[in-house]
């Protein structure tokens, strides 16, 4: 039976560079929808080219939520995301708009759709500064010692999540088992994926395109004393340590700006790291059997998506 009184939402997931944003806009225009981003870095102001943030032109008049909502100096948590996205969905529903959740941050989507209750432990800057200096192997050994159960389930290559787990375990004694509240929505999951060869080709081509569009200049502005578009009272730039915390593009851009990598090395290493990240995204999403997977390059597949979503909405 269909859940009663639960808003219907469309959730578009998949690894980076598969065209999720483009599909979301196309469906939003057809189905009177608005897009709610589920990207853990696109929430930050100023992180535009490096994160591949959709442009105003690409939005084609479709309203987008949860882009440029956080100060990059401070950590934006999954707890904050769940609260902000819940408000955005309620706003869309009140105006009879279809909420379309779109992004590649699986934990954000899981917390929102499944109503995961997370421990509200504030960031410990002193501890994080210490942990950020540790190697991956040392961090994992520390987590294993603090909480063996969480060590078994955590995504071990996601060091930000490992550090957060250590932070929680240090504050609470252990990382509590994640609990779920009653589901608030009736979701339809659509996944986009490509063959490994095609996806890796796209990732590299998109990286070169972003570099040409000014990604290095963006990183220089972020590190500079003043950030364009930021609150004037916060005139300091992002430290290289903070850029490292933001991961992927900004980590390697920081290394390049410090002359620890040549431009060629930066591009090669970053292309490989983004590809590895895409594989981790797929590992996460493949666990969810609710997702119906499609090839975004297949026009008949895209037509099927539209028909499938329409059927879902008409039920």
Domain ranges of the chain: 8-118+179-314, 125-172
Please give the radius of gyration of the chain, using alpha carbons only, rounded to the nearest integer. 20
Give the pLDDT score at 232: 46
CA triple 273-277-279, angle to 5 deg: 120
pLDDT on residue 174: 65
- How does DSSP classify residue 154? S
Counting as low any pLDDT under 70, the low residues of the chain are 1-4, 117-118, 174-181, 225-235
Q: Give 245-278 as a DSSP string.
A: HH-HHHHHHHHHHTTSS-HHHHHHHHHHHHHHHH
Query: Residues 170-207, buried b or exposed e (16+ Cβ, 10 A)?
Result: beeeebeeeeeeeebbbbbbbbbbbeeeebbebbbeeb
Q: What's residue 157's pLDDT?
A: 74
Distances (CA, A) of 135 to 112, 162, 166, 170, 251: 31, 12, 14, 18, 15
| DSSP 8-state class, residue 149 | H
**Long-range pairs for 203-206: beta carbons < 8 A, 24 or more residues apart:** 203/16, 203/17, 203/271, 203/274, 203/275, 203/278, 204/271, 206/17, 206/52
pLDDT of residue 175: 62
Please report the pLDDT score of residue 1 as a whole number.
40
pLDDT for 179: 63
Considering the entire predicted model, what is its pTM? 0.85
Q: Give the sign of the dihedral formed by CA 285, CA 291, CA 292, CA 294.
A: negative
Q: What is the pLDDT of residue 176?
A: 63
Cβ pair 98, 31 in contact under 8 A: yes
- Looking at domain 8-118+179-314, which of 3.40.50.1370, 3.40.50.300, 3.30.390.30, 1.10.8.50 is its CATH number? 3.40.50.300
Pairing of β 179-180 and β 116-117: antiparallel
* Per-residue pLDDT at 165: 86
- What pLDDT does residue 27 have? 96
């Amino acid at each position: 039976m269909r859940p009663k009184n639960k808003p219907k939402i469309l959730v578009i997931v998949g690894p980076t560079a598969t065209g999720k944003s483009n599909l979301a806009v196309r469906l939003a225009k057809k189905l009177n929808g608005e897009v709610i981003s589920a990207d853990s870095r696109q929430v930050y102001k100023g992180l535009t080219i490096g994160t591949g943030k959709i442009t105003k032109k690409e939005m084609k008049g479709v309203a987008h939520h949860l882009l440029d909502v956080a100060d990059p100096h401070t950590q934006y948590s999954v707890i904050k995301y769940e609260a902000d996205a819940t408000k955005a969905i309620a706003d869309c529903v009140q105006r009879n708009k279809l909420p379309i959740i779109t992004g590649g941050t699986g934990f954000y989507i899981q917390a929102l759709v499944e109503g995961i209750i997370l421990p509200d432990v504030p960031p410990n800057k002193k501890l994080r500064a210490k942990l950020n200096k540790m190697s991956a192997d040392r961090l994992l050994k520390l987590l294993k010692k603090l909480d063996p159960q969480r060590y078994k389930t955590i995504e071990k290559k996601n060091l930000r999540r490992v550090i957060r787990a250590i932070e929680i375990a240090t504050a609470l004694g252990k990382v509590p088992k994640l609990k779920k509240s009653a589901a608030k929505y009736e979701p339809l999951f659509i996944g986009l994926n490509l063959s490994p060869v095609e996806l890796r080709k796209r990732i590299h081509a998109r990286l070169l395109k972003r570099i040409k569009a000014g990604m290095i200049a963006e990183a220089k502005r972020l590190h500079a004393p003043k950030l364009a578009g930021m609150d004037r009272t916060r005139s300091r730039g992002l430290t290289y340590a903070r850029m490292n915390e933001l991961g992927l593009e900004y980590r390697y851009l920081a290394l390049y700006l410090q002359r620890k990598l040549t431009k060629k090395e930066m591009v090669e290493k970053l292309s490989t790291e983004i590809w590895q990240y895409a594989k981790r995204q797929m590992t996460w999403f493949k666990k969810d059997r609710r997702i119906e997977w499609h090839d975004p390059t297949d026009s008949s597949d895209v037509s099927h998506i539209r028909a499938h979503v329409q059927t879902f909405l008409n039920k």
